[in-house]
Amino acid sequence: MLVRVYDLFAGGKTDKFDILFSLDDADEQILETHTFGVERACWTRAALTAIAEVMVRREDDIMASGEWQEAAEDILNNAKSAFSKFPWHLPDLVEQAPDLHAEMLERLTGNDFGDSISKRAFAKLCKAVVYGYMK
């Protein structure tokens, strides 16, 4: 469901009500079921998984341009904004950056991501996105 929210946000629907009204019945049911009583850690893990899924889906386009750093920055910034109304813990993106980097290496088919963005560089990028000091 968070991947769908990301897609809507990246597609220009930035208002939370526009996003909500664009979700289908299954997504709305998931949202209603999991909004209350679900630990923030679960929402955080879902957000990180959604970020990884978006990177995997965009792999071919990113490989063609060779701009892994810019693509990762764009995806992370969009996720930060798109998921801002959800109860995830954004600073965990910094703490879990090495695990997210490892997940990306595992899920992506090529080696371009790992060759372009080291674990340390990815952690720095995540920190810059979370704390707002981009270039």
Cα–Cα distances in Å, from 100 out to 104, 116, 126?
A: 6, 15, 10
**What's the pTM?**
0.83
Q: What would the pLDDT profile of 18-76 be if each residue is shown by its tens digit?
A: 877 888 888 777 767 766 666 777 888 888 999 999 999 999 889 888 899 999 999 99
Cα–Cα distances in Å, from 26 out to 4, 14, 36, 49, 53?
A: 11, 21, 17, 19, 19
Query: How many angstroms separate the CA atoms of 132 and 29, rounded?
Result: 33
Cα within 13 Å of Cα(32), Cβ side? 7
7-17 mean pLDDT: 86
Number of C-beta neighbours around residue 60 at 10 A: 10
Q: What would the pLDDT profile of 97-113 be if each residue is shown by its tens digit?
A: 999 999 999 999 888 89
The pLDDT assigned to 86 comes to 80
Radius of gyration of the chain, Cα coordinates, nearest whole angstrom: 15
Indicate whether 95 pLDDT > 80: yes
Greatest extent of the chain over all pairs of C-alpha atoms, in Å: 43
